[in-house]
Amino acid sequence: MKSEEVLVATWTNRLQNHISVTICDYKTAICNLVFEYRYPEKMWAEPAHFSSLLSNRQDAVFILLPRARADGNNYQHIAKLLIQYDSQGKLKLAESSFLSVGNFDVVALNRYDGTTDTIYFTAQAPSPGNRHLYSTKATPTADEVWACVSCHHKNCTYQSNSISPNFKYLLTHCKIDGRGSGGRGWKYRSATYGALGTVEIQDQLDALKAVLKKYPYFDASRVSVFGWSYGGFAAVRAAELAPESFFKCTVSVAPVANFLYYDATYTERYMGEAGLAAYNASDITNDVSHFRKTRLLLAHGLYDDNVHFQNSALLMEALQRQDIDFDAMVYPNQDHSISRRTHLYNKITAFLENCAKH
């Protein structure tokens, strides 16, 4: 393929059991079919399966397809589609060949390293309850030839990973299933009922303290917390419940200030018939004194019909009443999702970089 800007687009029928992979010219928007696949009966394509990677030389596309195993089951695995042309220079339909194999599902394609001809992918292995980053050569194989990149994190078995463009750095995101989360029965899940902003926040803090203690190469003097929506509430609440100056920087986007101001369907699902005292106990405007030593960036869309701007306005007022300096960014005509993500994340990045230095 000529060195040009192209788009790999995957299409599906209404039943989502027949996919077509096309390569489209970025300038002309003309798409050419390179691969078709019809799923077996009672199987379908998930949107996540449509994600694909294009090789550096643009001579191969990598996608996820079902691969049959000896036990009669099918698992999502990496398929390589070799891009070839006929004698007239037209794209030929590609044959698929698998790169990964095993009794596990590949759930995401992360990166392709053209220098080493290596695919990095996320799989639910070695058991369905795990999620790790793996790598394999971009060469079709019938053998189980792959390596786990992130399995050395013994206490982080369910994770997501990001790889830097130069493949020099790996960012691993571990999830903490603190009280209030699912998967452990209702006794564990209901620990936050009528008491949002309590034990689930404390469990996150305890986990973070344990990580900092175990891995001394982390700079405990430059710890930051970030959250959006309920996460925005949790970020501010964490700064409140943590020891003094534990967090150097806090970023809160569209936070719930008090669940009295949030929609009844969500709030009463978790708060039930809790009295006014329970709501006031989780009000993040009650005590903002910790932001004298922890810097805060607050961002909110003025058109937010989910978490109304009133919530951030109340938090701003509480900070101003105590003459506490903070950073704020307001987005006119933006709802809860804030579509101006580039501006928002540039603002967050600049804030964190500046905060970490001072």
Catalytically annotated residues: 229, 304, 336
Specify the 3-state DSSP secondary structure of 316.
helix
Residue type, 216: P
H/E stretch holding 181: none
**Longest pairwise C-alpha distance within the chain:** 77
DSSP for 225-277 reads: EEEETHHHHHHHHHHHHSPTTS-SEEEEES--S-GGGS-HHHHHHHHTT--HH
CB of 288 closer than 8 Å to CB of 239: no
Rounded CA-CA distance 290/288 in Å is 5
CB of 100 closer than 8 Å to CB of 133: no
**In this structure, what token pair is assigned to residue 226?**
């970030």
CB of 82 closer than 8 Å to CB of 59: yes
174 closest CA partner among 218, 115, 139, 130: 130
H/E stretch holding 208: helix 199-214
Tell me the sheet residues that pair with 30. none
| 3-state SS record for 135-153 | EEECCCCCCCCCEECCCCC
Give 70's contacts (C-beta < 8 A, 6+ positions apart).
none
Residue 72 Rama label (left phi>0; alpha psi -120 to 50; beta): left
**In this structure, what token pair is assigned to residue 134?**
């793996």
CB of 255 closer than 8 Å to CB of 311: yes
Residue 301 has a CB neighbour count (10 Å cut-off) of 25
